[in-house]
Amino acid sequence: MSKKQAPRRVGETEAAAYAKALRTSPRKLNVVAQSIRGKAANAALYELTFSPRRIAIEVKKVLQAAIANAENNHQLDVDKLVVKEASVGRAFSLKRFHARGRGRSASVEKYFSNLMVVVRERAEEVPAAGEEEKA
């Protein structure tokens, strides 16, 4: 006897990838995630490749994992993939201290983030009944 299979968390034409405990604050990670939301997967990869932000390298790895999951696990067409969702969450924070003058100290929090990227297959565009194709 085995456990019942867990239901899919994403739709039939979607695939997801996760990254936990990324070493950056959620605010900084969300700036990079915002830049790829709603874009075609290959355009988002180009955007992340040339982004000057350090965390863009990790976001690119997660996006590539989501694309690979879509291709290998769910048999989706890679050329039609669009970034449906790029959600950022707060993980945990390391609490450290910083020595200050006159024997005092100040607390420093080092934030970590979680990232989830969902890609979906773009639906075929059907021309409207009244429009004709121009040659």
- CA–CA dist 47, 62 (Å, integer): 14
User: With contact defined as beta carbons under 8 Å apart, do 130 and 36 qualify?
Assistant: no
What is the set of domains in the chain, with CATH numbers?
A: 14-121 (3.90.470.10)
Q: Give the total residue count for the chain.
A: 135
Q: In terms of Cα–Cα distance, which of 54, 68, 49 is closest to 117?
A: 68
135 residues of the chain, pLDDT tens digit each: 788 988 888 888 999 999 999 999 999 999 999 999 999 999 999 999 999 999 999 999 999 999 999 999 999 999 999 999 999 999 999 999 999 999 999 999 999 999 999 999 998 776 666 666 655
- CA–CA dist 40, 115 (Å, integer): 18
pLDDT tens string 72-109: 999 999 999 999 999 999 999 999 999 999 999 999 99
- Per the confidence metrics, is the pTM higher than 0.75? yes
